[in-house]
């Protein structure tokens, strides 16, 4: 998944009369094998914000380690909920360390 795909799957822009809200989809694992996702508001901009401000905010969300992390082994950016720990993603944990998800 490249950044563009991450943005289309995990970040959405909601606009109402007053504000532009940037939402990020976060994944949690209440039970093993049963991921759950929910949208949280990551950022709020004035309704009149120019598109480049919105894009800059989207980029900032991607780079915010609260939401996304870059895996040290495959160097791909992943949603936080797909990380095995703070450094490597679940795919790499499975492939390289025999961890079963």
- Which x/- pattern over 19-58 shows residues binding Zn ion (rule: CB under 5 A)? ----------------------------------------
Smallest gap from Cβ 35 to Zn ion, in A, equals 17
Angle, vertex CA 89, rays to CA 33 and CA 78, nearest 5:
95
Rounded Cα gap, residues 59 and 7, in angstroms: 9
Could you say which of 71, 79, 83, 84 contacts Zn ion (CB under 5 A)?
71
Please count the residues of this chain forming the interface with Zn ion, following the rule CB under 5 A: 5
Smallest gap from Cβ 19 to Zn ion, in A, equals 35
Query: How far, CA to CA in Å, does 14 sit from each of 25, 42, 46, 51?
Result: 13, 11, 12, 13
Beta carbon nearer to Zn ion, 24 or 92: 92
């Amino acid at each position: 998944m490249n950044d563009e795909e991450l943005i289309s799957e995990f970040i959405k822009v909601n606009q109402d009369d007053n504000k532009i809200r940037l939402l990020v989809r976060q994944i949690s694992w209440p039970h093993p094998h049963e991921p759950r996702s929910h949208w949280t508001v990551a950022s709020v901009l004035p309704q009149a914000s120019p598109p480049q401000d919105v894009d800059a905010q989207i980029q900032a969300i991607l780079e915010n380690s609260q939401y996304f992390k870059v895996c040290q082994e495959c160097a791909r950016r992943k949603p936080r909920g797909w990380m095995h720990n703070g450094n490597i993603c679940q795919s790499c944990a499975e492939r390289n360390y025999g961890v079963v998800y």
